[in-house]
């Protein structure tokens, strides 16, 4: 009992001393980025990935695209609009949007407030409307009104990030792509 009491007293004394002393506060160091090993093209990791891809292809040969669209341009627009929203909400808005502006050439002539009025329910409408307008103009001026089929060209468009580019490349152009958001991409 005496040793316990002595230990408790010394702990209490240390606590009092540490609360009186003011030590300089060190800033927490940023964690180092996770370094993943490089994948050997002939290695077992790639063959495992190929097996998984084959199994997924067998199970889901024609996976449905939840965003309603009639062209690669409309898919690109719908993907952009789905950020911070749901596919269900996007599908409620896009019929009117695409009825009025079905192509990049037509949407490039639209006024931003008109686009914003239609997509307002999706959230972030001012930014999305500006991006839709700017993207349409770039598509017309630099790509003849067509959606480019390269990651680099897609990601250079206003409002288009890696995930949207991956969705369009995989769904519109049948390129191998794995669309993931930034949180997943950070860990992969």
Which of left, alpha, beta for 111 (phi over 0: left; psi -120 to 50: alpha)? beta
Judge whether 68 counts as a catalytic residue: no
- Contacts for 1 with CB less than 8 Å, ≥ 6 apart: none
Q: Name the DSSP class of 123.
A: S
Q: Which of 15, 70, 114, 181 is catalytic?
A: 181
Q: Which two tokens stand for residue 175?
A: 């390129």
Catalytic (active site) residue 163? yes
Cβ–Cβ < 8 Å for 139, 108? yes
What is the distance between the alpha carbons of residues 87 and 174, in angstroms, rounded to a whole number? 21
What residues are annotated to the active site? 163, 181
């Amino acid at each position: 009992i005496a040793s316990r009491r002595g230990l408790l007293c010394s702990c209490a004394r240390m606590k009092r001393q540490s609360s009186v002393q003011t030590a300089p506060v060190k800033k927490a160091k940023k964690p180092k980025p996770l370094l993943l090993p490089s994948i050997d093209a002939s290695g077992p990791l790639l063959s495992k990935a190929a097996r998984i891809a084959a199994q997924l292809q067998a199970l889901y040969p024609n996976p449905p695209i939840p965003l309603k669209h009639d062209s690669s341009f409309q898919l690109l627009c719908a993907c952009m609009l789905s950020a911070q929203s749901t596919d269900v909400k996007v599908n409620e808005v896009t019929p009117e949007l695409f009825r009025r502006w079905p192509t990049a050439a037509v949407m490039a002539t639209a006024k931003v407030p008109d686009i914003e009025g239609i997509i307002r329910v999706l959230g972030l409408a001012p930014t999305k409307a500006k991006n839709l307008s700017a993207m349409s103009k770039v598509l017309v001026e630099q790509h003849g009104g067509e959606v480019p089929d390269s990651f680099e060209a897609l990601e250079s468009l206003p409002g288009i990030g890696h995930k949207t580019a991956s969705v369009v490349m995989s769904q519109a152009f049948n390129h191998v792509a794995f669309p993931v958001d930034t949180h997943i991409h950070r860990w992969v």
